[in-house]
Amino acid sequence: MHDPEITGPDIARTTPSHISRRRFLQAGAASLALSAFHADAMEMAADRPKRVGLIGAGWYGKSDLWRLMQVAPVEVVSICDPDQRMLAEAVEIHGQRRKSARKPRTYGDYREMLKEKDLDIVLVGAPDHWHALQMIAAVEAGADVYVQKPVSVDVCEGEAMVDAARKHGRVVQVGTQRKSTPHLIDVKKQVVDAGLLGTIGHVEMCCYFHMRANGNPPVQPVPDHLDYEMWTGPAPLRPYDGLPHKRWWRTFMEYGNGIMGDMCVHMLDTARWMLDLGWPNRITSTGGIYVQKEGKSNIADTQTATFEYDNFNAVWQHRSWGSPPDPDYPWALFIYGDQGTLKASTMRADFMPRGNNAKPMHFECLYEREQYPEDVTEQGIELNAAPATRRHMLDFLAAVETRKRPIADIEQGHISTASCVLANLSMQLGGRPLCYDPQQRIIIDDQEATKLLRRPYRTPWEHPLADLIVQNANINRHL
C-alpha cells in the first residue's frame, strides 16, 4: 500500500518512526495487533501526550473521544458544544475516566476554542452541516483532525476540505472505520485480494433499518442551556421543536443528506476500499417519501442509487420501513463474482463459493469486552464498532506521528461522501444521470446540476469555497 507523505509549508518530511500502520493492518491476530499498537502509542506519548480538543460533545463525539483515550494517553484540553448540558456531561464522564486529569476547558463556540492554538488533535463530532467549517478551521489552527463522516453536506465543501488539509500539511482521518474493522480486514485479504470471487460483475449495498425519525412535535421555546443559533450555524434556521440531538436532526435534509449520506457512505466507502475504486463514472438515483408520509421528516424513506464503474455497477437500496430481504444482513455489502458471492456487514461476513473448488468461509465481528470492560456500561455505545474505532484512532495516531496519509484520508472520505451527495442531487433532478469531473469540479454538460454542488449558507456564515471560486475559472463559470 502506498502511503503518501503529508506535506505543507510548516511540515518537514520525516522518516517513519516506531509506529507502522502497515504492521498494524497486516497483523495476524486483531487483539495482538491492538496490544502492540497500544504499547507503541504509549511510547509515542511518553514525552508529551497529544493535546486534544473535541468539537461536538453529543453521542458520537463523546464515543470517538473515549475510544481515543482508551488507546493513547492523550490530554483532553478542550471540549466544545453549544448545549451546556452536553458539555457538562462530557466533562463529568471525562473526569470519571481520567480521575487525576485536569478538567478540560469548555466552549460554546468552536472558534473561541481554536483561537488558543494549543491543540495537536481536534475531533469533529458535530452534526454533518458543521463538518466542513470546523475541520478547515482546525487545520488552519495547526491541528491534525479526526472528522466524522460524511465529511460534508455538499460537494464543494468536500473539495475545500481536501484543499485545506493539503495546503496546511495536516493529517485528516475520516470516521469511515469499516477500513479498520477486524473481520472486514480479514475478508479483504482472504477473499477479495486472494481472488476467490473471480471476475466481479456486480455490487449491491443496502440499509433496511427503521432509523428515520418522524413525528410532529410542536414549536416551543428554545431552552436556556442550548444556543440554537450556534447549533444551526450555516444551515437554515428551522423553528425549534425540541432537542435536535442524536436522531432528530438526521431526519432533515437541512443538516445532512438523509440515509444516503448517513449509511450508504459507509458501505460505498467499504466497497471502494475492498475493490480499489475511485470516483464513479456516472451516478443515477431515484426515490422519495413513499410510505412514511406522516410527520415532519423530509428525508427519503425509500431510495435506489446506481454508481457506475468501468466493469460493473454498485447499486444502493434503502427502505426505512418493511423487512430486509436477508435478515442476517440488513445493512450490508454484497459483492458478486463469477466464482462466488461475498456478503459483508459490520456484524459478520460470509463467502459462498460457486462449485466445489473452494470452501465457504464465515467471519464474525470482534468484541473486546474483556480488554475494555468499561465498554459494557457505556451509555449508547456500539459494542461491535468500538474495536474498529480504536484501530481507526491508532491508524490516525500513526499517521500523525509519521506524517503519512491515514487509511481513511480526507480525499477518500470526500469521494465517498460526494458520491452520495451526487446521488441525492440526481434524485432531486428526477433521476437524471450525473457525471462529476473532480478536476474541473463541475457536472459535465449540466450547468443546472453544477449549481447544486454548493448549498447556500445562512448569513453571516460563508461557504469555504468562496475564496476558491476566484482561483478556479471552471467553478467560477458554472456557479
**Average pLDDT value for residue range 412-437:** 98
Same domain, 371 and 226: yes
Same domain, 59 and 46: yes
Closest C-alpha to 309, from 228, 174, 203 = 203
- Between 386 and 11, name the one with better pLDDT: 386
Does the residue 315 lie in any domain? Answer: yes
460 cis-preceded (ω within 30 degrees of 0): yes
Residue 193 has pLDDT above 60, yes or no: yes
Q: Quick one: pLDDT at residue 22?
A: 40
- Location of C-alpha cell 482508551: 70
Q: CB–CB of 267/208 below 8 Å?
A: no
Same domain, 300 and 354: yes
Residue 204 has pLDDT above 50, yes or no: yes
Same domain, 304 and 347: yes
Same domain, 94 and 57: yes
Same domain, 211 and 344: yes
* Mean of pLDDT over the chain: 90
Distance CA 226, CA 391 (A): 34
**Average pLDDT value for residue range 32-59:** 70
Domain coverage including residue 326: 182-376
Does the residue 257 lie in any domain? Answer: yes
* CATH number for position 362: 3.30.360.10
Same domain, 321 and 402: no
Residue 29 has pLDDT above 70, yes or no: no
Same domain, 395 and 300: no
Closest C-alpha to 150, from 347, 418, 400, 342 = 418
Residue 333 has pLDDT above 70, yes or no: yes
Q: Quick one: pLDDT at residue 40?
A: 55
Same domain, 369 and 394: no
Lowest mean pLDDT among 4-18, 118-132, 341-355: 4-18
* CATH number for position 111: 3.40.50.720
Q: How confident is the model at residue 19 (pLDDT cuts 50, 70, 90)?
A: very low
Closest C-alpha to 158, from 415, 406, 428 = 415
What string of DSSP letters covers 330-394?
SEEEEEEETTEEEEEESSEEEEEESSSSS--EEEE----TTT-THHHHSTT--TTTHHHHHHHHH
**Average pLDDT value for residue range 107-130:** 97
Does the residue 331 lie in any domain? Answer: yes
Does the residue 9 lie in any domain? Answer: no
Same domain, 370 and 391: no
The number of folded domains in the chain is: 2
Q: CB–CB of 27/36 below 8 Å?
A: yes
